[in-house]
Structure 1
């Protein structure tokens, strides 16, 4: 049977090869989901841990827990039994963690002991500075430098313990090395002698996860001495033990992070069991970070599945189509075998073994090919947009092979469906079967069902829009249903169009049957009679193009809105503040109240404006402008007042060239509003919230001032809803309503005083930011604050959400292109070969090659061409209906500018070029094969 299967596969090598390609792509796509998820989260997990270290200065891979023993445990001797068990348990736990350990530190500490000179007793009440602890750290000698004195001996001579101290401790206690002190606690006392001053050999060494200042009151004893002499039956001085482990956080993965999150629970459970009265403290900064990433893993996995569902559906259709083509070529053979006594089970087994061989090979290759796909995903910076970014740290998790098994099993089932259907027919059934038999989806109205589900999803979000806006919270809260429902709509509407397609073709045929040329007449007749023959191909094209158009719109919309939000919030490429020198003075003013003169003193701050030209000459700076920002300004008009106005003073002409703003946000182009400001020094623009609160309109006057400033009068020239950096969205607290007034900076400085302002810069994108930053350092510009939008954009592009969205949508479309192109060529080549007899007869009847080419061209245009047009239309309609729903997944309070659906011409042009390329290549191959048809070969086929 194996030889029979191999012969059959060789006889249909092109079809079998196409089926094998589909299987490999399916397995690699499905198995890449866990690989991609873990790779993204791995990258972001390490980034989050690095950010934690930068912000807090604390090593993020540290796991520290300390156990302090109460007095009753010490007196009862329980501590002697507990400590060895704690230490043994600590080592056992570390062996269960699959993360490299950089350092494993055990710190033993006594209770605070009274420190006195050996020969001078302090009979006064001691203060806190007279107390200190004796501490030991294992491995101390390898991690310190002795800056004075020497390292303590590991032997006790004449009852004196040699210890190390920090330089700060030496100064604070006014000690001299070599002096002997008595350390006393209750009935216990020991003699200690500082013999050396130490410093950390490497401050960045994870061994020193905490600051050295924690040891400023301690006397550090060699670990061996502490254990041999202070943990004895005669004197057991241990009061606190701290276990501090530094894991290599760069080796922490999403897979092994689960064992880390269990550490604290295990330690607390064990300690509570053996020492219920002990006081325990745990410090594990990674715990919360890893817990958050576990949630993100679930969200990201769900999102990736929902993004890939349309592609998986397309692959299933592809596998079914190829399998059906293989079976159709062998229907006569199957029917003859059935008629001659072959059992159905035997025939099914032949095909099952064949597809199992292909599926098994795909299982071995697919996961590793998925690794390559993940690298492609990591370079996606937008839909069909790739950049040179650092590659993802890709590993192949076990889950990938589990996913691959499910993918292979589902693929085998999909491929076997046509086989099961065909093996149920005898030779008589085969000859009696009509070509025009309806498809199952047509009979059971699957298209109407899918459209109904898609409409329900759209209605659900529209009806609950306000509620969803209130509970939405951020980028990673995107509902997977938002990706799944559009796929249902595309498939449903595509199938519905295929339902009415034969009627449209027949209508065109009937309307012009007296006028059509021979080529057009023959094509319309063929299409109206054999519509089932074209359904798979047309559905392929419709789904590919529609999903591509929708994916392009969804990705571009989400990318643009998030990017615009950052640019709007930042105001310009770079905004910075420079230190101003200031001087305070007291001004005494006299005010007459009733009959008395009262003197009021007021502190006035005068500022010295730093030079502005060095900022304009920075590397990469194209233009610079001054922007004055002042909060808590008082604005009054018509007897009403606001005391929390944000005042912005600008230079209109330069501000318009440098600031980022979306012109569509205002009724007129925002340059018109800047021109209004420039036309009158006292002109001002106010937010709608100011206009409503003060009851003013264009042409009205308002007065403004702030503490220590003069009062000035302004005239309202315009009312705006949006302005660079201004978020008009109301807060939960009505009193926190944002108010904005924009005025001319020279007028503010002349009438109200000069105070520090921001500098907004337009920086050339071609200039590296490092050169810009280095120039600031070289010129010693005293920058106190800087906001650069470029690093924020880079961080946004590297976020888990956009990496998953851009990469998966791009890869899905590329896969669908490959599958559709292969399916397109395969279908037409098989169709052409199956109609060789028909074309040969046409040629024998006198139909010219030119007319035959015309038939094929019209057939291509009326099937592939119309399917492409339908795909473009359905994709655009899907985008208009469903892309706006993505705004429900973002925080409305931060969604400025408002969510806007984007259709980028460049994205769609890439899709159109693919369609044109596919049609041209396909038609060229068909024409090449058509010209190779010989009339005598067709005449020899005498069956018809």
Structure 2
């Protein structure tokens, strides 16, 4: 008990440092435990979204698991079927997912069906008896009644569907004989049903139930399974899992369903099972996606974890430094190293246990912050992630605490072996030379980062040289880890040089410096080791923040710009046109896009243009444009008769087109509006792509001829040559050809007057803050002749909600905020302890007649030369890191097909957020320190020194 009192008193005496240590442990545990929680949440959200898309795309329920087995010609078939049902029930329950519905289809082999009444002239048909489990809960009787579970006067009553009545051309009450060899059943349909309910009960079933006779389940089991088991045929067992409840831990069990069932069924009968599990490949892909996302999150958090480790080490060292005398006295009086270590270990273990229970719940809240991120230090309101604590979170928390305890115990171990004599000797040498291995470590960090930079640059050149492309967009995690090493390594090297620079400046102006600067230069240059931790903290925080902002902005912007460039406008609408073409021309496609496939049609199709004005009057639409697109256009150079037949034609009205479309200004030599102005000057003017110019050897001023589908065509004059154009990808290959895509842009009115009037699309730019719901309601209300709508907005939403950007933006933002908080705490603690340790020095200054404002100026000067310089270094090193390493993210994009080309993008607003956070931290910290300095009774410092 005495030792616990000692530990409690020691923690109370150092409550601020102990509290800071406890806070560091909680942050470490919460950050580490949030990684599996966040990974699981993102993957579950992605999985549910993908399964919903699968259901919409295929009209099949994603949670369906079905297996089919045959029991024909099997000895003891009825008993075997019951065993299979039991196996299925046990294994399905082991999955642990909620089951929406289950349906087993138990069927006989086909019977020969004949009418009881001889007068029926219809030839015999085939049919089966079957039963569907849980049928009565999923049907409505529209005529007749439910069949009895026992034969009525020797007749088996059955249910039939409306389709069966129509196909067999019968009415209720018609009696049949079902015969197979020496077995005959007398049946009578007594009820007609319709499927009801929203459950996947019916969507999982095939249509065979609509042709056969459905027997009451009890009667089927008694008459068929028990008494006539040789009549059993194929049975199907279907389960509908609630796919909204699928968690990461459930995926291995679901993927193991087939092998488990096959193994268990093999013990009952010979394997003849066919499985249907439509989403098996989707689930398999998530194991790999989860691994990639976990690696990326760990890599993004490595710099923050390093900072937390340094923070814990620093706080532990501060605690030990304040208690070195006490430790050395204990060692001198006979306490062993293990006894001293045990005292501190119990203290740290107590804090760690509390952090173990608090941290994961705090990590749960951090995941909500991550889920709301829309960019670096940007937050939006979006649907919350399906977040919940898992066992993995506590496993991660446990190992995080083990690593933290090791970091904290290092200073304790180093101090525990010191006697009072060695303590005094060490104090005298504490400003001595640095150990050689610390310098080696700093150079090693910097060297590894430079090697990584060179290696990635070489990989990038090799990838471009062989035209290789990444198959999936997944950021290489090392691209975040190596820059962090560069920032730390370069920061340590500069901090190694910094004291000599200060000493040089001090000596150059030693005769001229005022007292505040004179004292500051001496203090900072001679006590550089004291400031190193604080300055390194600030350099890491700001440097990594600047790099993170640039990297996040570059990745986000490039991915968004791909979508903007691909779509061009917010919404593209295909309009129905009336024409003289036969209906067969439009089969499988839109009018106007099939003309190139019908060159053999001798009679020219005449189109009637619908009114364009209603599209311009949609309240939510800011601007509209007519855009005519035609593939497979033949372009002929009139001066040399060169021809190409794979060009794409875009007909536009230049003013409207420019107001509707998004286009990046830096892609062309001149602003793209200038090219639109060229088209507006001359009706016959065209803008051609570089591929057209290369293929035809064309230049500005040359005349070309455009034609398609056997039309006469028209002459045009080249007014400009471009490499890029809205929606045009010059790197795309033409189908069935090795040629790059080619484009000709012309005036739409000239095309319509000189060649042909054919259907065009309507491109729209919507007004700001307009919801898609309002837009689609307006289109529906107006009854516009729309064939299809291509909307850019869903693609942007999918991008923002993707695992890549959610993990990237959230983790970078959270890491910076945590780093800033840790730096602020370290900043305050360091300066408070510094002021306390130098109370005697400040007292002497006051005794010498230096006023309080001068003391404050000394403190401010020290902060400028330490914290201020560290912030400047952080900004500079972060900018250098961005210039060197952000271009390497090109490796993670499909560079050969990416439009617009990859570009490093920085936004001053991102860096301003960082600067504002840092300024607030410094100003708030300085205010606290000045207030603390004023509160100290410095006039008593001399007496304190005498005591």
Q: TM class by shorter-chain length?
A: over 0.9
Aligned with residue 199 of structure 1, among 194, 197, 212: 194
Partners of 1:685 and 1:561 lie apart in 2 by: 26
Is the Cα–Cα contact under 8 Å of residues 573 and 790 in structure 1 kept in the other structure?
yes
Partners of 1:47 and 1:159 lie apart in 2 by: 54
Residue 590 of structure 2 is matched in structure 1 by none
1:676-687 paired onto structure 2 within 5 Å: 676-687=678-689
SS at match of 2:924: helix
1:379 maps onto 2:372 in alignment: yes
1:319 maps onto 2:312 in alignment: yes
1:334 maps onto 2:364 in alignment: no
Residue 95 of structure 1 is matched in structure 2 by 93
Is the Cα–Cα contact under 8 Å of residues 17 and 319 in structure 2 kept in the other structure?
yes
1:768 maps onto 2:766 in alignment: no
Q: Deviations over 1:830-854 (max 9, x none)?
A: 1111110111111111222232222
Deviation for aligned residue 1:930: 2.0
Is the Cα–Cα contact under 8 Å of residues 840 and 938 in structure 1 kept in the other structure?
yes
Partners of 2:144 and 2:121 lie apart in 1 by: 31
Partners of 1:717 and 1:331 lie apart in 2 by: 83
Is the Cα–Cα contact under 8 Å of residues 435 and 530 in structure 1 kept in the other structure?
no
Q: Structure 1 pair 865/262, CA: closer, same or farther in 2 (3 Å)?
A: same
Is the Cα–Cα contact under 8 Å of residues 265 and 271 in structure 2 kept in the other structure?
no
Is the Cα–Cα contact under 8 Å of residues 299 and 476 in structure 1 kept in the other structure?
no
Partners of 1:738 and 1:275 lie apart in 2 by: 59
Deviation for aligned residue 1:313: 0.2
Residue 225 of structure 1 is matched in structure 2 by 219
1:172 maps onto 2:167 in alignment: yes
Residue 104 of structure 1 is matched in structure 2 by 102
Is the Cα–Cα contact under 8 Å of residues 441 and 447 in structure 1 kept in the other structure?
no
1:918-937 paired onto structure 2 within 5 Å: 918-937=921-940
1:645-684 paired onto structure 2 within 5 Å: 645-684=647-686
Q: Structure 1 pair 122/457, CA: closer, same or farther in 2 (3 Å)?
A: farther
Partners of 2:221 and 2:636 lie apart in 1 by: 75
Partners of 2:471 and 2:777 lie apart in 1 by: 35
Is the Cα–Cα contact under 8 Å of residues 87 and 265 in structure 2 kept in the other structure?
no
Q: Structure 1 pair 212/150, CA: closer, same or farther in 2 (3 Å)?
A: farther
Residue 623 of structure 1 is matched in structure 2 by 623
Q: Which stretch shifts more, 395-404 or 215-224? A: 215-224
Residue 595 of structure 1 is matched in structure 2 by none
Q: Structure 1 pair 747/928, CA: closer, same or farther in 2 (3 Å)?
A: same
Partners of 1:408 and 1:345 lie apart in 2 by: 21
1:296-311 paired onto structure 2 within 5 Å: 296-311=289-304
Deviation for aligned residue 1:558: 0.7
Q: Which stretch shifts more, 204-213 or 490-499? A: 204-213
SS at match of 1:197: strand
Is the Cα–Cα contact under 8 Å of residues 625 and 760 in structure 1 kept in the other structure?
yes
Partners of 2:104 and 2:27 lie apart in 1 by: 53
Aligned with residue 911 of structure 1, among 910, 914, 918: 914
Residue 338 of structure 2 is matched in structure 1 by 345
Q: Which stretch shifts more, 168-177 or 522-531? A: 168-177
Partners of 2:150 and 2:511 lie apart in 1 by: 116
Partners of 2:785 and 2:413 lie apart in 1 by: 79
Aligned with residue 894 of structure 2, among 891, 895, 907: 891
1:546-695 paired onto structure 2 within 5 Å: 546-584=543-581, 602-637=602-637, 638-695=640-697
Partners of 2:95 and 2:436 lie apart in 1 by: 53
Aligned with residue 243 of structure 2, among 246, 249, 253: 249
Partners of 1:774 and 1:441 lie apart in 2 by: 73
Aligned with residue 154 of structure 1, among 142, 149, 152: 149
Partners of 2:434 and 2:128 lie apart in 1 by: 85
Partners of 2:205 and 2:628 lie apart in 1 by: 41
Residue 591 of structure 1 is matched in structure 2 by none
Q: Structure 1 pair 909/230, CA: closer, same or farther in 2 (3 Å)?
A: same
Deviation for aligned residue 1:81: 4.4
Is the Cα–Cα contact under 8 Å of residues 62 and 243 in structure 2 kept in the other structure?
yes
SS at match of 2:602: strand
Residue 878 of structure 1 is matched in structure 2 by 881
Residue 291 of structure 1 is matched in structure 2 by 284
Residue 443 of structure 2 is matched in structure 1 by 448
Residue 499 of structure 1 is matched in structure 2 by 496
Deviation for aligned residue 1:612: 1.1
SS at match of 1:484: helix
Q: Which stretch shifts more, 857-866 or 458-467? A: 458-467
Is the Cα–Cα contact under 8 Å of residues 438 and 532 in structure 1 kept in the other structure?
no
Deviation for aligned residue 1:209: 2.6
Residue 531 of structure 2 is matched in structure 1 by 534
Q: Structure 1 pair 795/601, CA: closer, same or farther in 2 (3 Å)?
A: closer
Is the Cα–Cα contact under 8 Å of residues 149 and 195 in structure 1 kept in the other structure?
yes
Q: Deviations over 1:453-483 (max 9, x none)?
A: 1111111111111444655435542211111
Q: Deviations over 1:405-424 (max 9, x none)?
A: 11111111111111111122
Alignment length, in residue pairs?
A: 922
Q: Structure 1 pair 134/585, CA: closer, same or farther in 2 (3 Å)?
A: closer
SS at match of 1:206: coil
Partners of 2:509 and 2:566 lie apart in 1 by: 61
1:362-401 paired onto structure 2 within 5 Å: 362-401=355-394
Residue 589 of structure 2 is matched in structure 1 by none
Deviation for aligned residue 1:567: 0.9
Is the Cα–Cα contact under 8 Å of residues 846 and 939 in structure 2 kept in the other structure?
no
SS at match of 2:442: helix
Q: Deviations over 1:333-369 (max 9, x none)?
A: 2222222322222222111111111111111100011
Deviation for aligned residue 1:934: 3.1
Residue 115 of structure 1 is matched in structure 2 by 113
Residue 178 of structure 2 is matched in structure 1 by 183
Deviation for aligned residue 1:273: 4.3
Deviation for aligned residue 1:601: 7.1
Q: Which stretch shifts more, 934-943 or 443-452? A: 934-943
Deviation for aligned residue 1:219: 1.7
Partners of 1:544 and 1:931 lie apart in 2 by: 30
Which ranges in structure 2 are unaligned for 5 or more consecutive residues?
584-599
Q: Which stretch shifts more, 635-644 or 50-59? A: 635-644
Deviation for aligned residue 1:95: 2.3
Partners of 2:540 and 2:856 lie apart in 1 by: 28
SS at match of 2:18: helix
1:777 maps onto 2:780 in alignment: yes
Residue 699 of structure 1 is matched in structure 2 by 701
Q: Structure 1 pair 601/819, CA: closer, same or farther in 2 (3 Å)?
A: closer
Partners of 2:669 and 2:350 lie apart in 1 by: 65
1:140 maps onto 2:135 in alignment: yes
Q: Which stretch shifts more, 736-745 or 751-760? A: 736-745
SS at match of 1:153: coil
Q: Structure 1 pair 707/17, CA: closer, same or farther in 2 (3 Å)?
A: same
Is the Cα–Cα contact under 8 Å of residues 28 and 404 in structure 1 kept in the other structure?
yes
Partners of 1:635 and 1:68 lie apart in 2 by: 63
1:702-713 paired onto structure 2 within 5 Å: 702-713=704-715
Residue 9 of structure 1 is matched in structure 2 by 11
Which ranges in structure 1 are unaligned for 5 or more consecutive residues?
587-599
Aligned with residue 835 of structure 1, among 805, 814, 838: 838
Partners of 1:864 and 1:836 lie apart in 2 by: 21
Is the Cα–Cα contact under 8 Å of residues 140 and 222 in structure 1 kept in the other structure?
no
Deviation for aligned residue 1:276: 2.6
Deviation for aligned residue 1:737: 2.2
SS at match of 2:186: strand
1:850-861 paired onto structure 2 within 5 Å: 850-861=853-864
Residue 22 of structure 2 is matched in structure 1 by 20
Q: Compute the RMSD of aligned alpha carbons.
A: 2.0
Q: Structure 1 pair 438/725, CA: closer, same or farther in 2 (3 Å)?
A: farther
Is the Cα–Cα contact under 8 Å of residues 76 and 229 in structure 2 kept in the other structure?
no
Residue 263 of structure 2 is matched in structure 1 by 269
